[in-house]
Structure 1
Amino acid sequence: MSEQQGQHSEFVRQWEAWHAEHERVRTDPHGFLAVTSLNWLDAEPTRYPDAPGSWSSTAEGVTVELAVDEELVIDGSPVHGTHHFGVIEERAGFLVRAGEAVIEVAKRGGKDILRPRHPGNELLADYAGTAAYEPDPRWAVPARFVPFDAPRPVTVGAAVEGIQHVYQAPGQLEFELDGATHRLTAFNGGRPGTLQVLFTDATSGTTTYPANRSLAVPAPDDDQRVVLDFNRATNLPCAYTEHATCPLPPAENRLRVAVEAGERYPFERHGKEPHGKG
């Protein structure tokens, strides 16, 4: 085996390990495939068929009122009667136990939501994996991070109508592809210094999910250099379930080139009218 063949084999091996771990997380018994409903809370106490209690949301935060035979487990402790969660910050939330289920109480787009997650959900039980393009080093593209003078708040739409998301954008990622220069606005990633890119491209709506794909980007080096490995472009939860509030890419992140890399259109949504089409 030549050195070049060995490097390609190692590249593929690392990608396969990454994708296997990504699928493992996706099929967690209480992950997004286990979500059975998306409920928007308001001041009127309301019961839902897939969660115990009567739930409401006011300026003081989220409250649940449990019947005498109902119980939640919060931070390992059983809870009965009335429980006040208080005000939940944007994109934050709680996961509480209800028997074998987990109940997510969170805030998205400025509104409090309730999302029960049941391990026996049909979507999770029937999930057969997500197809992806064959990993190719060509799609590990060198890029340069171009920081803004100061982080900018960027408002984007969502996979459900009626809400918007606001993210902090520290800068843009500039790279060459198919003989042209492209720039993608980057949001702060999950760990300090890392970045996240939401994008669509010419494959969106044909071989990949129309509304968005997401790419985690490592922290740029001291010279602001980084690699955009589009082989690791992933679907967000809205590609699988209508019970997700995923953000849509900003307008400038809609690439006209075909990025034939990363995860493809999920079987679960293909043939259905997708969120965010166009």
Structure 2
Amino acid sequence: MTTIESPLRQEWDTWHREREEQLRTPHGWLSLTALHWLDGTARGFDGIPGTWRATGDGGVELTADGDAAVDGVPVTGTVRLEPVDGQPGVLVEIGERRVEVIRRTDDYALRVRDPHAITRTAFTGAPAFDVDERWVVAGRFEAYPEPKRLTVGAVVDGLQHFPTAVGVVRFTLGGAEHELVAFPGKAGGLSLHFRDATSGVTTYGGGRSVALADPDSDGRVTIDFNRTVNLPCAFTAHATCPLPPAENRLSVAVEAGERIPPRPDLQP
């Protein structure tokens, strides 16, 4: 007998397939192979051409002999790179690889992106719970009078992030009322970054996030927890992901969305 999938499952299948394709891109999160923190001393790193140093005034200097390029232009001598705090970094091209120069508050680092990373070549997909209608819930967004700059920890010890919260989303789940601090989404809408009773058990301990469309004129939103995703740090040891704010801990087990992924880089 042929099983007919529900529209919810059909839409989720399409969304999840696109999500996995994005993860598989040659220089995406699965391609990370190293994270090197910089200081004021010019130094080289194994397998990476040139020398690199943080200038102390908002930039990074790269000195190379033509074996690295920025925007397709070979670097011969010294160039200054100026990554923006908390944003994707400046990419330096080294053959098939990319060295991403990032800024995190007043710290600078190099993140190596290699299409041949085992985390990418051995990737078999992002495991997830079964899709279920009960994880699609109605919520209401209440905006703060003014956005709030929060301080949260990171998966890297000693590092902090400073996301801007714009309000809270309130909803009912598991027979109880809950609320989560909301942040602007990367492509519009809102983002909820949270932990729940599955965190560190069946889902990644550093938290997951779910994207929401813009609230309607009455603040109403729909939260589809089936589309809860892991942050990059669930897939690689070389990410600098923020942790959820302390208040974004749900007492209920959200058995929806992505589960703990396999980590081929951690296998003996």
Amino acid of the structure 2 residue aligned with 1:144: R
Instruction: Find the aligned partners of 1:47 and 1:104 in 2 and give their Cα distance.
Output: 15
Instruction: Find the aligned partners of 1:16 and 1:46 in 2 and give their Cα distance.
Output: 47
Match of 1:117 in 2: 113
Instruction: Find the aligned partners of 2:221 and 2:143 in 1 and give their Cα distance.
Output: 13
Match of 1:102 in 2: 98
Match of 2:28 in 1: 31
Residues 1:74 and 2:77 aligned together: no
Match of 1:188 in 2: 184
Give the alignment's Cα RMSD to 1 decimal: 1.8
- C-alpha displacement of 1:31: 1.0
- C-alpha displacement of 1:73: 2.2
Residues 1:225 and 2:223 aligned together: no
Match of 1:275 in 2: none
Residues 1:89 and 2:87 aligned together: no
- C-alpha displacement of 1:269: 7.9
Q: Does the 8 Å contact 2:86/2:161 carry over to 1?
A: no
Residues 1:257 and 2:252 aligned together: yes
SS at match of 1:205: coil
SS at match of 2:150: strand
Q: Does the 8 Å contact 1:152/1:169 carry over to 2?
A: yes
SS at match of 1:37: strand
Instruction: Find the aligned partners of 1:58 and 1:218 in 2 and give their Cα distance.
Output: 40
Q: Does the 8 Å contact 1:169/1:187 carry over to 2?
A: yes
Over residues 192-247 of structure 1, what are the superposed CA-to-partner deviations in whole Å (9 max), with x where a residue is unaligned? Answer: 4x111111111111111111101111111111001111000001111111111101
Amino acid of the structure 2 residue aligned with 1:264: R
> Structure 2 length as normaliser, TM-score?
0.93
SS at match of 2:221: strand
Q: Does the 8 Å contact 2:119/2:264 carry over to 1?
A: no
Tell me which of 28, 46, 51 is aligned to 1:49: 46
> Structure 1 length as normaliser, TM-score?
0.90
What fraction of aligned residue pairs are identical, expressed as a percent?
A: 44
Residues 1:179 and 2:175 aligned together: yes
Residues 1:201 and 2:196 aligned together: yes
Distance 1:31 1:137, change over 3 A: same
